[in-house]
């Protein structure tokens, strides 16, 4: 059963917009979800939610369905490892095809993997791997896993550096710490930036990333945004361009968890600067570009879910592509927010990364 949280919060409009307030209400659509990681919306109005231990759940107007989707691949679940993103094919209404990213393997040898599968409403069929990050790594941290479609129908996949292997982010012979671009069958586009580079992985689109946590395609502006975790501080929001080096670990605005200096450089020739960075760390996770009708004051803003800060940052994008003054939202939940999406109804949907997490709808006060 749905329940309304008794929260009617007035948030001051940013200076770049008309003065006023935005009143919203938070509605819990489903709980408990075990460390939910990603959400997507089905054409029939249902919502798919991944749970990190390896389950794909269905939420309908009746709430969380008791039986998880059948036929999922085997998932390595430990620490940060588990089932991560879910993404529908752009022709899903006709094909029933979806994509899942997850950790695959064991503690000694594991990978970020993406599979393609057919969904019939209850189970997955024809589950086929289309990408497996190489080389294998050990440990259970920094997988990335977010996915997004480009305008040409190719698929972007963010990976992580594996935590213990930060130097791999600069190694074009490794998929670790990269953004990957492939076709939906796993083949490599001919115009990828390193297709003709000796010893480079041809799937690489950009490199020098630490742990990519969201990718958003602003189709109107022709811009790809991605954010990633820094170490102790230095979380980044970047504009992603093909073949560019985003610097990790040669440049960083953060320090190591021990407070030791990772690098003396915050900039370096040939390496991209972030559009913005967060210090102290907010631990960004999930992001949406709001283009709905329910909150006209928020149109054109990026909404960034934050784990450590237990909030959502609203980042208005100004003319010229620069970020405006940020708002901090939904702190009243006091939960780690893992993902945020714009629903087909124009509401915002978010999930909380807790042992008994929630799927929450954010809409104007009725």
pLDDT in tens, the chain (366 residues): 344 444 333 332 222 222 237 999 999 999 999 999 999 999 999 999 999 999 999 999 999 999 999 999 999 999 999 999 999 999 999 999 999 999 999 999 999 999 999 999 999 999 999 999 999 999 999 999 999 999 999 999 999 999 999 999 999 999 999 999 999 999 999 999 999 999 999 999 999 999 999 999 999 999 999 999 999 999 999 999 999 999 999 999 999 888 889 999 999 999 999 999 999 999 999 999 999 999 999 999 999 999 999 999 999 999 889 999 999 999 999 999 999 999 999 999 999 999 999 999 999 998
Work out the number of other CB atoms within 10 angstroms of the CB of residue 342: 19
CATH architecture of 69-281: 6 Propeller (2.120)
pLDDT of 258: 86
Record the pTM.
Answer: 0.94
Residue 198's pLDDT is 98
Q: What is the pLDDT of residue 90?
A: 97
Q: Domain segments of the chain: what residues?
A: 69-281
pLDDT of residue 56: 99
pLDDT in the model for residue 5: 47
Tokens 């489903």 sit at which residue?
30
Gap between the Cα atoms of 207 and 132, Å rounded: 17
Model pLDDT, residue 320: 85
Could you identify the residue written with the tokens 């990408």? 131
pLDDT on residue 7:
39
- The pair of structure tokens assigned to 126 is 């024809």
User: How many CB atoms neighbour CB 167 within 10 A?
Assistant: 14
For 134, counting Cβ atoms within 10 Å of its Cβ (0-12 exposed, 13-18 middle, 19+ buried), the class is middle
The pLDDT, as a whole number, for residue 212 is 99
Residues 6+ apart with CB under 8 A from 118: 95, 96, 97, 98, 124, 125, 126
Active site (annotated) includes residue 227: no
Active-site annotation holder among 35, 142, 175, 253: 142
SS3 356: coil
Between CA 366 and CA 332 the distance in angstroms is: 20
Joined together, the tokens standing for residue 95 give 């094909």
pLDDT at 277: 98
- Which is it for strands 337-342 and 276-278: parallel, antiparallel or unpaired? unpaired
Cβ 39 vs Cβ 359: under 8 Å: yes
Other Cβ atoms within 10 Å of 6 Cβ, number: 7
């Amino acid at each position: 059963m749905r329940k309304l949280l008794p929260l009617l919060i007035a948030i001051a409009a940013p200076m770049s917009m008309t003065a006023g307030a935005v009143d919203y209400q938070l509605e819990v659509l489903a709980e408990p979800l075990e460390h939910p990681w990603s959400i997507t919306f089905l054409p029939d109005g249902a919502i798919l939610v991944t749970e990190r231990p390896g389950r794909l759940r269905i939420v309908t107007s009746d709430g969380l369905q008791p039986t998880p989707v059948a036929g999922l691949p085997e998932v390595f679940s430990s620490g940060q490892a588990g089932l991560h993103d879910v993404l529908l094919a752009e022709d899903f209404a006709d094909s029933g095809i979806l994509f899942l990213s997850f950790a695959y393997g064991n503690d000694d040898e594991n990978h970020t993997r993406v599979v393609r599968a057919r969904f019939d409403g209850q189970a997955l069929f024809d589950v086929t791997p289309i990408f497996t990050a190489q080389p294998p790594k050990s440990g259970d941290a920094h997988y990335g896993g977010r996915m997004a479609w480009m305008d040409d129908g190719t698929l972007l996949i963010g990976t992580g550096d594996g935590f213990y292997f930060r130097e791999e982010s600069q190694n074009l012979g490794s998929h670790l710490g990269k953004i990957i671009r492939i076709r939906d069958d796993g083949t490599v586009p001919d115009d990828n930036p390193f297709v003709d580079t000796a010893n480079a992985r041809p799937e690489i689109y950009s490199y020098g990333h630490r742990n990519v946590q969201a990718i958003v395609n602003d189709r109107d502006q022709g811009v790809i945004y991605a954010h990633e975790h820094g170490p102790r501080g230095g979380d980044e929001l970047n504009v992603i361009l093909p073949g560019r080096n985003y610097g990790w670990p040669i440049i960083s605005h953060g320090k190591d968890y021990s407070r030791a200096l990772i690098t003396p450089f915050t900039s370096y020739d040939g390496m991209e600067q972030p559009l913005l960075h967060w210090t102290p760390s907010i631990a960004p996770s999930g992001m949406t570009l709001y283009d709905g009708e329910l909150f006209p004051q928020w149109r054109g803003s990026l909404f960034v879910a934050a784990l450590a800060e237990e909030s959502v940052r609203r980042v208005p994008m100004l003319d010229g592509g620069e970020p405006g003054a940020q708002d901090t939202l939904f702190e009243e939940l006091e939960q780690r927010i893992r993902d945020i999406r714009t629903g087909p109804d124009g509401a915002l949907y978010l999930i909380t990364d807790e042992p008994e997490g929630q799927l929450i709808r954010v809409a104007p006060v009725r």
